[in-house]
Amino acid sequence: MKQEAQKVLLLNPPSDRLYIRDQFCSHVSKGTYYWQPLDLLQISARLHAQGHELSIVDAIAERLSAEEAQRRINRFAPDALVFMTGSDSFEDDVAFVAEVKRRGVGVAVAIGDIMREKGDELMAAHPEIDAYLHDFVHHGLHAFLQGHMDNAANMTVRTATGLRKVEERDSRRTFTIPTPPYGIFPLDRYRMPYNRYHPYATLITSSWCPFGCSFCPFARTSYRVREVDDVLCNMEDIRRMGIRQVHIADWTFGVDRKQAAAILRGMIEAKFGFTWSCLSRVDLMDRKLMGLMAAAGCDLLELGVESGTQAILDRYEKGITLEQIRNAFAWAHETNISTLATFVLGLPGETRADLQSTLDLALAIEPTFCSFNVASPRMGTDLRRQMLAEGLIQDEEGAVLDSSRSQPAFSTGQLAASDLQRFRQMAIRRFYLRPSYLVQRLRRISSLVELQNYASNGLSLVWQSIQSARARRT
């Protein structure tokens, strides 16, 4: 390999579906939105600071055909590429990368949920993959590109004698990371469904998550916090770009209460002036912290509720109570922070009565938005291992794991897949088509971007409901 800085292409491969392959997950967008790929942003941050020449081809966000994506890659003529992949699209992704390498690109590095789960097996079957990343925040990709395999931390690499897994030596609890080169990304093509302003920028204040939710691929991962000054520097860079909307893409914001409070106070003092969103947990919230978040400009807080039945929350190690759920959403109303409540429907052991309890809870806590997701045996989760052991799913190539838009991937003794899909569609209608809800949402629209988001994603939900009804009839 070359010893000097290289031309590195960051690739989100083309597809005829709106795949979101980001953060070791793989699914299809439920609406017309498509968010910024955190994997590639963080990878680009380090490579850019280390002097590599970068370009990105996000064929999904830019709706590029395979031919146009190839032309873009050819024009850049990279030495190496880093490509995103996922369990739902792997075969198409690797076929595209094989053609890219046939045309002269020397090195291909993969990242995605299926690589994290089956990377060694897939590399043995696909010689066009030269390495894969275990982590997109802490990694030795620069060392790998320079040929220094001993320092290719958090990677599995192909060598002359076989595959080699390189462990990370430095596991400090805090970290810094340069501001990503946002300008190389097609920022105008990324949208989140609840943003007020466009374009927006993504950053992180921590990496991974210490909690044990058994349906989550990030459960019990090595949690680290980003140094406060480093976060604020990233935010200052975003302000200089004139961006008014930020998404904090931590897996769980506020795990380290002291760090989170210091960041929020720094934001308030700096008067950044942008609105922002984040993901967290109800058991990390209280009235004081949410008051700080609101004062710092927090506009949307995403909270995983998952179920309205305490026994289901306990069984799948969510680690929260129904009382904590109700309190967190009450505080959100008090502090005027919009909320997105996420739910997981159809976990093994769940009954129709449990589903109804979940819907009842969603209506009672009155989040601003709801996301009703079908349970999915995602790569790398305890849930997947449990379901394989119980024979509810098979470990087959091409198995659909998408939890957002496809039909449910399995039935249980309590719930048939068809019944689960009908309930999900009914829950969406019950929540979003209430006249009182529609009036409230229209009154709170404060920007043209919000209106466009509501219109496009609302129409998408209606279309999905129609398509689902047609599928049931046939």
Would you kindly state where each structural domain of the chain is located, as residue ranges? 7-166, 192-473
The pTM score is 0.90
Return the minimum-mean-pLDDT range out of 25-39, 78-92, 165-179, 249-263: 25-39
pLDDT, tens digit, 9 for 90 and up, residues 169-189: 877 899 999 999 999 999 999
Q: Is the pLDDT of residue 459 over 60?
A: no
pLDDT, tens digit, 9 for 90 and up, residues 209-234: 999 999 888 888 889 999 999 999 99
CATH class, domain 7-166, is alpha beta
Q: Characterise 341 by phi-psi region: left (phi > 0), alpha (psi -120 to 50), beta (else).
A: beta
Q: pLDDT above 70 covers what percent of the chain?
A: 89
Fold of 192-473: pyruvate-formate lyase- activating enzyme (3.80.30)
Contact 246, 352 (CB under 8 A): no
How does residue 390 score in pLDDT terms, banded at 50, 70 and 90? confident
- Look at the alpha carbons of 363, 372, 336, 285 in this order and tell me if their dihedral is positive or negative: positive
Return the minimum-mean-pLDDT range out of 204-213, 341-350, 351-360, 461-470: 461-470
